[in-house]
A and B are shown apart, each in its own frame.
Chain A
Amino acid sequence: EAQVTQNPRYLITVTGKKLTVTCSQNMNHEYMSWYRQDPGLGLRQIYYSMNVEVTDKGDVPEGYKVSRKEKRNFPLILESPSPNQTSLYFCASSGTDWGETQYFGPGTRLLVL
């Protein structure tokens, strides 16, 4: 079954404690992306990747890091989380560009205390 998986689904942490949210897709997609969703703001792109070792900043990259060492995985790293990073995070992938069907993961709800 074609899918994008994210882990963990829910996470409560404290300010400053480094965390990683994993994302994996099984469709051999080139494009992957991370978004955060906040009420009234829609989805905002954090980082995206067009292929292995190729990443670029989205609209709100501050406070986040990503890596794309393998095609299937695109982890999101928060080196020093802060309360304003409390949000719902989605990972997504698509074949060649955003106009193709972009498959979204189930979301990770993060609370930073």
Chain B
Amino acid sequence: GQQLNQSPQSMFIQEGEDVSMNCTSSSIFNTWLWYKQDPGEGPVLLIALYKAGELTSNGRLTAQFGITRKDSFLNISASIPSDVGIYFCAATRNQGGKLIFGQGTELSVKP
């Protein structure tokens, strides 16, 4: 099936550092989403992107929808311990259609 390649798979950073992760695909998508999953919980939507080139922020999080429609990235600035978790990108061609997820980036933050 279709795939989203998410990198890096894991990151170990110091509190206060900035973080960047990205998702790429060989297919074009019309909506890109970023989720965070805490241990033992379901994912929670962080940011939704609908237009190529769109840059959207949510607090310390910033995400961009790539111009080619085949990629997206997420930045977290000034990381804090509660940023720990697994971050997933997801994408769909139709806003209500099949939704594809990346493999996840596991973030660890050292105080």
Contacts and interface: CB of A to CB of B under 8 A. Distances in A.
Partners in one complex: yes
A59 B98 contact: yes
B92 A98 contact: yes
B104 interface: yes
27 contacts: A31-B96, A33-B99, A41-B103, A42-B6, A42-B101, A42-B103, A43-B88, A43-B90, A44-B101, A45-B98, A45-B101, A58-B98, A58-B99, A59-B98, A90-B42, A92-B42, A96-B96, A97-B95, A97-B96, A98-B31, A98-B90, A98-B95, A98-B99, A99-B33, A99-B48, A103-B42, A107-B40
A99 B95 contact: yes
Interface string A75-113: 000000000000000101000111111111111000000
A107 B41 CA distance: 7
Contacts of B31: 97-99
Interface in B67-111: 88, 90, 92, 95-104
Contact of B33 (A56, A90, A98): A98
Contacts of B45: 101-102
B1 interface: yes
Nearest to B100: A59
Given A90-B42, A96-B96, A98-B90, 4 more contacts: A40-B9, A56-B98, A96-B95, A99-B31
Interface of A: 31, 33, 35, 40-45, 48, 50, 56-60, 90, 92, 96-107
Interface residues of B, number: 28
A59 B103 contact: no
Contacts of A98: 31, 33, 48, 90, 92, 95-96, 99
A96 B96 CA distance: 7
A105 B100 contact: no
